[in-house]
Amino acid sequence: MSHPRREFQKGSLTRENLDPSPFLQFGVWYDEAETAGVFEPHAVILATADARGRPSARVVLVRGWTGAGFEFFTNYESAKGKALDANPQAELLFYWMEMERQIRIQGTVERLTDEENRAYFEKRPRGSRLSAYASPQSAEVESREWLEEEVRRLETEHAGDEPRTPPPYWGGFRVMPDTFEFWQGRESRLHDRFQYRMNGDDGWDIVRLGP
């Protein structure tokens, strides 16, 4: 949902105004980002490392979050899909420049179920569903024209029907956090940083970090 942009009044971040749950705190900041008119606040930098430890980062769109974690969708045979299968750990970085805020989320990763994948796939626009079939994500392709021809072929193949089942190589991942960090920009680089660390009692310890 889009919101009219309003002037955001930057403030401080204190231990007292943090929710004990990092998921609820994320929800508060996300709602404020939407209200402030941040462009695509669900866009996030996803950082992974492959089996050799080689890091990689790219922007993905988070399509949902619950107390279990943060979900995004991709081609499982893409570079990020292969990296996450080999080394199922990731970091998410939300950066809302207009508000001088960022949120870092670290955790382990799991694939979503076939039922979850299908439920989301059915909500996608028809063109996006066809593209999921047409694009061998991260693999070398001969030209833009080849991609467009693949989409036209699929349009013809599926004329009069709707592809509702995702390809077997397409689906979602869930990042299950064990660490959150909330960062609020302040003057003179004396920023406010608070980290939530999962403890052994199914709760969260909260500590302030130096900027």
How far is residue 75's CA from residue 4's CA, in Å, rounded to a whole number? 34
Q: In terms of C-beta density within 10 A (0-12 exposed, 13-18 middle, 19 or more buried), how is residue 49 classed?
A: middle
Total residues belonging to the chain: 211
How far is residue 186's CA from residue 198's CA, in Å, rounded to a whole number? 26
Catalytic site includes residue 193: no
How far is residue 83's CA from residue 77's CA, in Å, rounded to a whole number? 9
Q: In terms of C-beta density within 10 A (0-12 exposed, 13-18 middle, 19 or more buried), how is residue 183 classed?
A: buried
Contacts of 129 (CB under 8 A, 6+ apart): 121, 162, 163, 164, 166
How far is residue 205's CA from residue 195's CA, in Å, rounded to a whole number? 8
Which position among 6, 52, 144, 189 bears the catalytic label? Answer: 189
The values of phi and psi at residue 25, to 5°, are -65, -40
Q: Tokens 């569903």 label which residue?
A: 129
Instruction: Show which residues are catalytic.
Output: 189
